[in-house]
Structure 1
């Protein structure tokens, strides 16, 4: 497999990986049932990061060209899809809208939790926050994404618990269940790896010094960073999906992922 050229304008590395693997399947160099090389080897072959390889493999899996077997690796599908690209494009657009809805809800809810936690956190609460933040940093540095994901979730749960309001904790737990996939996606992003532990450390310090305004602002900035990373990932998947056979012509999208405002109709 050839190296992916860098610095080629709008096309990202993961899109080029999708195109290269797709071409090998089309030419018969990779046959149905063939096992793809491991992620680490693919990253070396394409001179790419492992996160870029994961994103490319996910696009190929969602499109039906590749499937993953737990503990065994990634394989070319036994039956290659025909019009799967159109289904994938529709799925990704729904995913984009869903993520925006979820992000909007989080930005309304979680900064308020952080502000309350700053005024109510006990020593035990602060210790739980500190422990979760340190654990996330340790696991991210070690490259253990699943363990970092659990520590990330534990940190946000500890913020909710520090409010001392069980109803808010219950609501946050429900919201956190919806966040799960996006949180994993964000933690696999190289930039997010560097930023996540720093954001959580700053938030812990704001809560520890009882600064509600700083805690609210820090949580909001953190969630805005996550939203940008997730929208970049989804848009990358959409661009890569457009390379697959049967994909409809790409439609121009607004530069910002923000939803358009909804106007009221009728008399005020």
Structure 2
């Protein structure tokens, strides 16, 4: 067997933040204003909720393993371009297939990587197709992650919202149930190196959040918290949870991730 290589590509799985109503669409405009002014990653990420954090992709490879080639394969139409989550068009609607990176662009990457991500793709698709439609994600609170250099401010479910994580009277899938399923699917796929017990515990202690920005010092922190509170003070921000994205990129490359595959949760792809 070819040696295992991890670290040359990274991947993750996110929910694309998708406003659930016209009111939420208006809130999203304010969220984007805050992100552009305060989030150093705004130019690399669309608003999202991370389900599985970035990981080194584990795949079979050899030193001489080149990207796949597709010379001689006829095509009746040009392949759609590779999209990042920043530029991916809106979902095509009920009964339409979600975006999938074309074979011509997949073929530019090592065979082992394509096999690993394709297997993960198939496993995730099977998992989400078996789910009931997902409940909207309700972000009705503000939180922050204190780091050594700055604080990261985000929207999150409140303590009164979060306890409903495992079940709902509607019978719909919650974001906590969805994350647990996707986390287990990634772990079982072999695409991610084995996690330590500490890391595994962190991943299963899921706290959904949508990042608004970073701040340094009490003054900027107070200002950003006030702006965040203005978004949700009268009503929460609600996001649909039915668009999952498997993202990837070479580890040494800066900039946005490309979308390997987008999944529609709760219905078979056509």
TM-score (norm 1): 0.24
Q: Which gives a bigger RCO, structure 1 or 2 (Cα 8 Å, sep 6+)? A: 2
The structure with the largest helix share of the pair is 1
Larger Rg: 1
The structure with the largest strand share of the pair is 2
TM-score (norm 2): 0.24
